[in-house]
A and B are shown apart, each in its own frame.
With several copies, the nearest count.
Chain A
Amino acid sequence: MNPEPNKNNQKLVMGNEAVAMGAIAAGCDFFAGYPITPATEILEEMSKMLPPRGGVFLQMEDELSAIAAVIGAAWGGSISMTATSGPGFSLMQENLGYASITQTPCVVVDCQRGGPSTGLPKLASQGDVMQARFGSHGDRPTLVITASSVNDCYESTVFAFKMSQKHRMPVILLIDGVIGHIREPVELPPAPPPRKATFPKIDADSPRFGDAPFVPFGHGPVTVVTGLAHQSNGLAETQKGSHTEQMIRTTIENICRDPEIIDSWALKYQLDDADVAIVAYGITARSAREAADLLRADGIKAGLLDLKILWPFPNEILRELAGKVAAIIVPELNLGQMVLPLKAAVGGRVVVHSLNRADGTLLTPNDIAEFAAKQLNSIEERTHA
């Protein structure tokens, strides 16, 4: 059922549909994927939207080949994407590393479900947030963007494509089955006409990797691409991976100081005078926002730091926050994942309380507010003692 416009120019759109629409808006002209709950609608939408635009839709034999085809297509000059959920995301880890080491722009959507393994296919989860950073062997630069509304799904997808091209890296969009399946009214611009990506002109002697621009096959001189450590000309270095280490370090630095990323890192809600900060992301940030209201209604000055980019982790923002509040509450739909870099960042400057749930059920505003109130009480008790 296609969303229809109404008099308010608002369309009722499902999160997964908004991801697909965002991709099209960002110029995505290649999608390869494999069906998996709860991400399947992205695949289905792309199968409808791409052929009439002359773009490529491929349903591959598995997720291993889906990500491989996406990387291949990027080197064929396409703006490419895949979408999956936990089990498929696990299968993609090896080739995600390939995309990183070859500095290939592409977007991978993980619409999370309960894990591990087959787990809870249609239930809510934020169980893949550490995997999104550390799921591949070896170190790779990671940029992981999340979304907590249908509108976010669209905008985060557009942003993901933009960043993937700017920093020539795979960018991960991490949503979950609830955000992926909620329909909310949104006002989205019409899809732009199909356009082919353009690339800079380079010479045969120009570097291909490192700080060099991304130029795919057939759009310039002969190029060598390898998943081995390599020099900036693409040729392998098998005795010492200095160039590759440097490339990875540089990309990490670049994304950490990109103003577009810094500006998008996190949203602050009622933090100015807050005594307690809830740090949340994705679907849980919505509960957390309401929880902050509930706490304030109870006289507790609570605020929310809503993380929009999970990786690189916004260490500075957290360090600053730690200097201002008495406690940080970290609600997550997992057994405690983002709380780890958070604790590392705040370095003991503030007490951090983790609220976790991994049974597929959402944390409600009440769950979070009550937990926060209880933790604050126990802090006060300790202070009085």
Chain B
Amino acid sequence: MPKLGLNIDKYLRTQVLPTVWCPGCGNGNIVEGLATAFSRMEVDPTRVVVVGGIGCSGRTPFYVQTNAMHTTHGRALAYATGLKMAQPDLTVVVTAGDGDALAIGGNHFIHAARRNIDLTVLLYNNGIYGMTGGQRGPTTPFGSRTTTSLAGNIERTFDTVEIAMAAGATYVARTTTFDMQEIPLRIQEAMAHPGFAVVEILTQCPTYYGSLNQLGDASDMLIWQRDLTDGVPVKMLNREELLGPLRTGVFRNEKVTEFTQAYSDLCSQVGGNYGHN
């Protein structure tokens, strides 16, 4: 979107740009969406921590001019849980890829959701492992080609939204880098939500997913994303078609006791005073 009138540079660590990502990668658009949300919400950068895992998306914390924690593969949510519990009035945003959050980090994802701890998770879903060069992941669509599924992926695909909801996330949304206006809106909603909030963002990987599956360049992949998500109701997990349609939007937005609040209540109950700095 035009950045007219909004100085998002304030929320960018411009001295480390350009980003590490390949030409045409949509991750930069998500960073832009995040900086835009920060900008609109006028957050204090010293009171925000962006926590990333390992993988392309995990590099996000380097690019936003807030506190940044680049952790280990799959564990970002566990780090973030400790951090948030230690200082509950910090705003903690977790950026994780589909591999980071749902393959190696799947367990922390479901448990953070179960606890309903006040974290905002931006789940960058490009359907492939980018940083290591294009291997199959848990969200790689059935039948897709990757460097470890050259004859087509035979594994079934996770639906992030389904998993997040079953595990107990209280805000769940999905959007795409095609729908770029939506990204900051969803992030703002998620950050404003007191509880575990997941925004899945489909993002294009032209270098690996696109080229291995002959989807054209980054521009072509945006159109593909649009078609992929074009108003069709969300499918259950069992889809075994290549590139099945996925609905975008907000799937859940419920208020349920948040975990740091529950912990605070517990402490009060036994005479403790939690949450001061």
Give me the interface of A with B, judged by CB distance under 8 Å: 30, 32, 34-37, 40, 43-44, 47-48, 50-66, 68-78, 80, 87, 94-95, 98, 117-118, 194, 196, 216-218, 220-228, 234-236
Taking the complex as formed, is B147 at the interface, i.e. its CB lies under 8 A from any CB of chain A? yes
Q: Does B142 contact A (CB under 8 A)?
A: no
Pick the residue among B61, B69, B71, B86 that contacts A80 (CB under 8 A).
Answer: B86
Q: Which residues of B contact A37 (CB under 8 A)?
A: 131-132
Interface residues of B in 230-277 (CB under 8 A from A): 263, 266-267, 270-277
Mark B103-146 against chain A: 1 for CB-CB distance below 8 A, else 0.
11011100100000000000000000101110110100000000
A69 to chain B: which residues have CB within 8 Å?
78-79, 81-82, 85
Q: Is the CB of A75 within 8 A of B83?
A: yes
C-alpha spacing A366/B78, complex, angstroms: 46
Compute how far the CA of A37 lies from the CA of B131 in the bound complex, rounded to whole angstroms: 8
Q: Is the CB of B107 within 8 A of A218?
A: no
- How many A-B pairs have beta carbons closer than 8 Å: the answer is 208
Q: Is the interface of B mostly helix, strand, loop or mixed?
A: mixed
Distance in Å: Cβ of A107 to nearest Cβ of chain B = 14
Question: How far apart are B142's CB and chain A's nearest CB, in angstroms?
Answer: 14
Residues of A within 8 A of B148 (CB): 35, 43-44, 47, 57, 59
Q: Judge whether B34 is part of the interface by a CB distance below 8 angstroms.
A: no
Are B47 and A218 in contact, with the CB atoms below 8 A?
A: yes
B136:A59 contact, CB within 8 angstroms: yes
CA distance A215 to B51 in the complex (A): 17
Distance of A198 Cα from B276 Cα, bound (Å): 13
* Complex: A37 Cα to B130 Cα, angstroms: 11
Pick 19 A–B contacts, CB within 8 A, sort by A. Answer: A32-B82, A34-B104, A44-B133, A44-B147, A47-B149, A51-B151, A51-B266, A51-B272, A52-B270, A54-B273, A56-B274, A59-B148, A61-B106, A68-B72, A71-B82, A75-B79, A87-B73, A222-B66, A228-B70
Alpha-carbon distance A102/B99, docked complex (angstroms): 24
Tell me the B49-84 residues at the A interface (CB within 8 Å): 49, 51, 54, 61-62, 65-75, 77-84
Residues of B near A57 (CB, < 8 A) are: 148
B residues within 8 A CB of A58?
A: 81-82, 85
CB–CB A72/B150 < 8 A: no
Q: Are B87 and A76 in contact (CB under 8 A)?
A: yes
* A40 and B148 alpha carbons, distance in the complex (Å): 10
Known contacts A58-B85, A61-B107; is A218 also within 8 Å of B132 by CB? no
Chain A residues with CB below 8 A from B277, complex form: 77, 196, 218
B contact residues around A65 at 8 Å (CB)? 75, 77-78, 81, 107-108, 111
Residue on B nearest A76 in the bound complex, by CB:
B86
Given contacts A65-B108, A228-B70, 15 further A-B contacts (CB under 8 A): A30-B82, A30-B85, A61-B111, A62-B107, A68-B81, A69-B85, A75-B69, A76-B90, A80-B86, A218-B47, A221-B46, A222-B65, A226-B70, A227-B71, A236-B70
Q: Say if the beta carbon of B216 comes within 8 Å of chain A.
A: no
9 closest Cβ pairs, A-B complex: A76-B86, A69-B82, A72-B82, A65-B78, A68-B78, A72-B79, A72-B83, A226-B70, A35-B132
Closest residue of chain B to A56, judged by CB? B85
A223 with B150: CB separation less than 8 A: no
B186 to chain A, nearest CB (A): 24
In the bound complex, how far is the Cα of B87 from the Cα of A74, in angstroms?
10
B24 within 8 A of A: no
CA distance A34 to B135 in the complex (A): 9
Is B86 touching A73 in the complex (CB atoms < 8 A)?
Answer: yes
- Residue from B61, B72, B132 within 8 A of A98 (CB atoms): B72
B72 x A72 contact (CB < 8 A) = no
Q: Chain B residues near A51 (CB, 8 Å)?
A: 151, 263, 266-267, 270, 272, 274
A78 (CB) vs chain B CBs: closest residue: B86
**Smallest CB–CB gap between A74 and chain B, Å?**
8
* A56 CB contacts on chain B under 8 angstroms: 85-86, 263, 274
A356 to B108: give the CA distance in the assembly, Å: 38
- The verdict on A217 contacting B90 (CB below 8 Å), with A43-B148, A47-B149 known, is yes
Distance in angstroms between the alpha carbons of A44 and B83 in the assembled complex: 22
Residue of A with least CB distance to B102: A61
Q: Is the CB of A72 within 8 A of B129?
A: no
Distance between Cα atoms of A179 and B149 in the complex (Å) = 25
